[in-house]
Amino acid sequence: MKFFVDTADIDAIAELNDLGMVDGVTTNPSLIAKSGRNILEVTKEICGMVKGPVSAEVVATKADDMIAEGRKLAAIADNIAIKVPLTWDGLKACKVFADEGRMVNVTLCFSPNQALLAAKAGAAFISPFIGRLDDIHVDGMELIQDIREIYDNYDFETQILAASIRTPNHVAESARIGADVITAPPAVIKSLASHPLTDKGLAAFMADWEKTGQTIL
């Protein structure tokens, strides 16, 4: 499974990238706003740091405007994945970009039918939002499972990019079902290393070690 980090925080990306935990990056207008920087500048810096796809999102809502914005974003670097919303206009823009040989991440997916349309339009990635479905008491993992089954039925090449990841369990379940990619905030990715029994075991080891009065260095 590929790990994309969902942030525009350069330092956080660099830390995870140095550990080999970053296969790509996803950004959106909200994350760019949090960074307080110009969208083109911060996106270019991220693209120079990360070898994998960097999703940069259009803000227009009409297809022609999305296409114009997407082409400008794609000009930043070769590893840009143009991010468009799963609307009819977004699908139109996706088809144009796909025909031009550009990577497209279709985002804000909440149903299997939407995912099917995105694959038909040539999306490189589909981003189903797990956490936001959980927020309205719908099991987001069922959506990942449905999309996996549909894509496998017809050999679609579109990669399932599980998004709106809130917990380590979301990551584990996405991997179990067979999502191709997860994108999560840095804190969630780092939390995957944590387990209370690991902490308890380490504390016991350290207590025993102190009793020996020895040092390694």
Dihedral angle computed from the Cα positions of residues 18, 19, 24 and 30, in that order, rounded to the nearest 10 degrees = -80
**Rounded-to-integer distance, Cα 55 and Cα 4, Å:** 10
Query: Active site includes 83?
Result: yes
Output phi, psi for 143, to 5 deg: -65, -45
Q: How far is CA 95 from CA 57, 84, 127, 203, in A?
A: 16, 11, 16, 55
Q: Closest Cα to residue 81, out of 166, 188, 177, 183?
A: 183
Q: Determine contact, residues 79/54, Cβ cutoff 8 Å.
A: yes
Q: How far is CA 34 from CA 42, 59, 136, in A?
A: 12, 16, 25
Dihedral angle computed from the Cα positions of residues 66, 69, 72 and 74, in that order, rounded to the nearest 10 degrees = -50
The catalytic position among 34, 51, 83, 190 is 83
Residues labelled catalytic: 83
